[in-house]
Amino acid sequence: MALKNRLKEFRARYELNQSQLAKLIGVSRQTISLIERGDYSPSVVLALKMAQVFKTNVEEIFILEDEEDEKSKEE
Amino acid sequence: MKKARKNKKFIIYLVMCIILGFVAGILRVKKESFNINTHKIIEIYLPFGFLAISLIITILQMLYTFDVKSKIKNINLDDIPDKFDSDLGNFMMLGSLGIIISLMWFTIMMNKMFDNNKLRWISYGFLIISIIFQNISQRLFNRTYPNKKINIFEDNASEKYFNKLDEGERWIVYNSAYSTFLKMQIVYGILLGVTLLISFVTSIPIIVPLIIGFIWIIETSIYFLEAKKYE
């Protein structure tokens, strides 16, 4: 199951660039970039911190994509 | 389709190995061996080769020093541009390479077979220059990233630096390290293979395959022992 995220969308909504979001959460800009690209799945702590910053739930930012959804998309 | 591609690759590798084995066999059977003038390579080309490489690295380090120092005054440390980050990374990598190459050259020049004192002192000079540039690159890194300061001269410097990294940066370190380990397995195999082929053609010091083999064994053993700690 792939982990998709709407981080870029939330950043745009709150007018935050990667560096500003990174500073708010206490990580490097590189980490935010890795998460946005889908290369790295954040820890629970980091995901919760992001949800706090965007005043939403973790499930709104990160979505687990089912294998079936992936296959149907490929078709 | 995937199976056909796998089989095709396997056949290509098989054919390449057959050709290499055929060539190696013919060369082994030939009574005369090729004589490579190792004396000229070691006495003349090797020291001057190191001199050329050290000069190139020093010039690049000087250019990076001017470039990074001029840019660091104008950048916003809260939003470091990717290009600057990349240049700083390249500068630090050059620093490490410079020290390794200078140390190799100095060690070779201290060998009793060389009696050229001038080159010996020059190699020592380049070693000092490399350490100075490494120090400069470290200071610039610490200025750019004050919350991740490194001091390579203190005890457990690598461990202290690693503990300052966040989870994403540590993920990069883990992946880079594992990728390096995998690629080095291939490199050692190729090196031993090339050494074997050269041995068919001319005499090669026994210490060469011994050293390659020992380093390969040490690296593989360390990896498995480290992995065992987490079982």
Instruction: Provide mean pLDDT across the span A28-55.
Output: 94
pLDDT digits (tens, 9 = 90+) for B176-199: 999 999 999 999 999 998 998 888
Find the largest Cα–Cα distance for chain B.
Answer: 69
DSSP 3-state assignment of B198?
Answer: helix
Mean pLDDT in chain A?
88
Number of C-alpha atoms within 13 angstroms, CB side, residue B3? 0
So what's the pLDDT on residue B66?
Answer: 93
pLDDT of residue B149: 87
pTM of the model: 0.79
Task: Tell me if ipTM is over 0.85.
Answer: no
Check B166 against A23: CB less than 8 A apart.
Answer: no
Q: Which of B78, B167, B171 minimises the CB distance to A19?
A: B78
The pLDDT of residue B31: 52
Number of CB pairs, chain A paired with chain B, less than 8 A apart: 35
CA of A23: which chain B residue's CA is closest? B78
- Contact criterion met (CB < 8 Å) for A26 and B78: no
**Which positions ≥6 away from A36 have C-beta within 8 Å?**
A5, A7, A8, A18
Q: Closest Cα of chain B to A22: distance in Å?
A: 10
Q: For residue A28, list chain B residues with Cβ-Cβ distance below 8 A.
A: 166, 168-169
Indicate yes or no: CB of B166 within 8 angstroms of CB of A42: no
Q: How far is B169 from chain A (nearest CA, A)?
A: 6
Q: What is the pLDDT of residues B4-40, one digit of tens each?
A: 777 888 888 888 888 888 877 777 776 555 566 666 6
Contacts of B172 in chain A (CB under 8 A): 30, 34
| pLDDT of amino acid A58 | 94
A57 confidence band (pLDDT: 50, 70, 90): very high
Rounded to whole angstroms, how far apart are CA atoms A50 and B115? Answer: 65
**Amino acid identity, residue B91?**
F
d(CA A54, CA A13): 9
pLDDT for B147 equals 85
User: What's the confidence (pLDDT) of residue B33?
Assistant: 57
Give the pLDDT confidence score for residue B76 in this predicted structure: 82
Residue A54: DSSP 8-state:
T
Tens of pLDDT, residue by residue over B66-115, are: 999 999 988 888 788 888 989 999 999 999 999 999 999 999 888 877 77
Confidence of residue A73 (pLDDT cuts 50, 70, 90): low
